[in-house]
Chains A and B, each alone.
Chain A
């Protein structure tokens, strides 16, 4: 791979990544992906794909996106050498891609901004979104406020209860939050409800899906808007560390921060990509959300991918301490990366993530989101096994403020 210092992190802000090998013309990533959608939505998916291809080839669209990435989102986000944490672990050097410093406190804004601009361009006045932890809902509400679009966010009742701060933020931003009481009342049900809304209002409505899951072309569009994470991190590591990382880590729920972080590194054969799934109370307990580690291939939300399901093909309830990872499916391209052996996947338990959240907070003064703490936990696990010169790049996908209630509960602390 070319290791050039000429590439600077902000060289990518006005661009989207060039078309990749996948998806193919049918929206497939190997045996994964596709368009398992009700007929009502098929024309809208075609329309979206066409609009996206036009937008990505329109210099004015890219300029506008770049301008807002710089001045609204605050990109490029830094890549930070966590020296104190690395020293404490006594092994590989840990570098953090600081998506927690992006506007709204997580990587979700990258996708919401891109798709919000697309909605505006397509002349759709009404935007819907689903959210788990609330980060995507906040990002969508933020972008809609800025662009003058109506925003309706579907959120499971369980998630509303554990992420009340984000619910309040969305409302403050002018969005309507619709509680979802069907099924497990978490992210997957919020997705179902958003899709039902879209089926009903498809002519006037743009659906900003928050992750690299769902029917084609969503996994591709979300990946492309998130790819800036890895493009910047790669250039920053080359500039600041002088070389490519040995390992790239990211947490995986639906997988948008992981796909965004990984995409630029997929061609780098020397770089090991590791996706960290939520092992919840432990894979063996069944209370987890580790779709690739412990699921089987199935069809969920329009895509063929790894799914947590029972023998009859019913989608099972998942568990993770982090609402953003509490999802029984995973983006089809992440499933394909596993098949192609381009990426490995591991599970990190609730307890390990909680511990990692505290370790990073105290070693570096950075409180990560519980989602991101899963990736940090795996870095903590493997750093001591690697030489001091080795580099582990971790996508710190979001900040932990939203999780303080959950963390306090888990630690037995009562907040007043």
Chain B
């Protein structure tokens, strides 16, 4: 029953009015005729971020937060601070009621987000707001298939492109099932970022290599998301197998929670993703210190 109430309140509340406002704004936003050197979008913006990090001599740092967690103000306050602190790409979690690839920290964050009334439309709105205030770093959604399927693959990809979402990662969408979304994303210049795991066979790595856009998300351990004390011991061998076949950048996530993890993974991969550790940190920070605290946490992870 609470889900129904939630859906109703979202349709009638302030979110709806904001949607309209933002659509108007975003339609007017790309100023035709003005040559834009810096405004890359989608796949190109992601590639550029990896290239820039590489030329600066480090792996791209990619923090994850769940939209609407701990509260609805978080994205607007925290994302600019993460970028200011050195994040190269930002991953935004689109909450789903049944996140079966996530450990308990991200599960709790998505449940809190849903309780805060967060929907896919709200997530798109938050990205529109970030773009409007001048955030130019690549933004990537991470979510599950069902909310996307309800929106429709084509509509979803179109909305991502229009709102300023550059890439999409879907935790329960292996390449076998990704055909429709891949085609829709390709039509709109949005990267559909494939995942690989330590259990992936050579055949599956080759399959992903042939289709990859943006970057490949290498799950760093056999398990669900969540901080671990130590990283997988066979990580290098696994990443070498991926590197041998994949031409786009590879980023590693799952279990990375400490500066020494970031440093050691950063030496092996093109990008380092930190999720649960940051989500947990956000929970501990009072609202007034959330942005500065998140930025401090990112600097600490990056070894500054």
Chain A residues whose CB sits within 8 angstroms of the CB of B235 once the complex forms: none
B100 CB-CB contact with A under 8 Å? yes
Shortest beta-carbon distance, B268 to chain A, in Å?
19
Chain A residues whose CB sits within 8 angstroms of the CB of B174 once the complex forms: 35-39, 42
A324 to B111, CA, bound (A): 25
CB 8 Å contact bits of A275-311 with B (1 = contact, 0 = none): 0000000000011000000001111111010010111
Query: In chain A between 162 and 203, which residues have their CB closer than 8 angstroms to a CB of chain B?
Result: 182-183, 188-189, 191-192, 195-196, 199-203
Query: In chain B between 74 and 128, which residues have their CB closer than 8 angstroms to a CB of chain A?
Result: 95-104, 107, 111, 114, 119-121
B222 CB-CB contact with A under 8 Å? yes
Chain B residues whose CB sits within 8 angstroms of the CB of A371 once the complex forms: none
Whether the pair B224, A313 counts as a contact (CB closer than 8 A) is: no
B172 CB-CB contact with A under 8 Å? yes
B264 CB-CB contact with A under 8 Å? no
A3 CB-CB contact with B under 8 Å? no
B247 CB-CB contact with A under 8 Å? no
Query: In chain A between 333 and 370, which residues have their CB closer than 8 angstroms to a CB of chain B?
Result: none
Chain B residues whose CB sits within 8 angstroms of the CB of A43 once the complex forms: 199-201, 204
Instruction: Select A35's contact among B4, B148, B177, B195, beta carbons within 8 Å.
Output: B177
A378 to B224, CA, bound (A): 43
CB 8 Å contact bits of B195-222 with A (1 = contact, 0 = none): 1111111001000000000000001001
Closest A residue by C-beta to B5: A310
A34 CB-CB contact with B under 8 Å? yes
Whether the pair A310, B222 counts as a contact (CB closer than 8 A) is: no
Chain B residues whose CB sits within 8 angstroms of the CB of A26 once the complex forms: 176
A201 to B224, CA, bound (A): 10
Chain B residues whose CB sits within 8 angstroms of the CB of A390 once the complex forms: none
Whether the pair B177, A34 counts as a contact (CB closer than 8 A) is: yes
B6 CB-CB contact with A under 8 Å? yes
Instruction: Select B97's contact among A202, A302, A314, beta carbons within 8 Å.
Output: A314
A206 to B133, CA, bound (A): 50
Interface size on B, residues (CB 8 A): 50
Whether the pair B145, A310 counts as a contact (CB closer than 8 A) is: no
Whether the pair A199, B223 counts as a contact (CB closer than 8 A) is: yes
Whether the pair B151, A38 counts as a contact (CB closer than 8 A) is: no
Whether the pair B219, A310 counts as a contact (CB closer than 8 A) is: no
A315 CB-CB contact with B under 8 Å? yes
Most buried by B among A43, A304, A309, A312: A312
A317 CB-CB contact with B under 8 Å? yes
A44 CB-CB contact with B under 8 Å? yes
A286 to B103, CA, bound (A): 30
CB 8 Å contact bits of B1-20 with A (1 = contact, 0 = none): 11110110011000000000
A307 to B145, CA, bound (A): 13
Given known pairs A287-B1, A310-B7, the reply for A36 and B172 (CB within 8 Å) is yes
Whether the pair A299, B149 counts as a contact (CB closer than 8 A) is: yes
Instruction: Select A312's contact among B7, B100, B107, beta carbons within 8 Å.
Output: B7
Chain B residues whose CB sits within 8 angstroms of the CB of A199 once the complex forms: 100-101, 222-224
B146 CB-CB contact with A under 8 Å? yes
Instruction: Select B100's contact among A301, A309, A310, beta carbons within 8 Å.
Output: A301
8 closest Cβ pairs, A-B complex? A313-B150, A313-B147, A40-B197, A200-B223, A314-B97, A310-B3, A312-B119, A313-B146
Extra contacts besides A42-B176, A301-B100, A313-B151 (12): CB < 8 Å: A36-B173, A39-B199, A40-B199, A192-B98, A298-B150, A299-B144, A299-B149, A299-B172, A313-B146, A314-B114, A314-B146, A317-B2
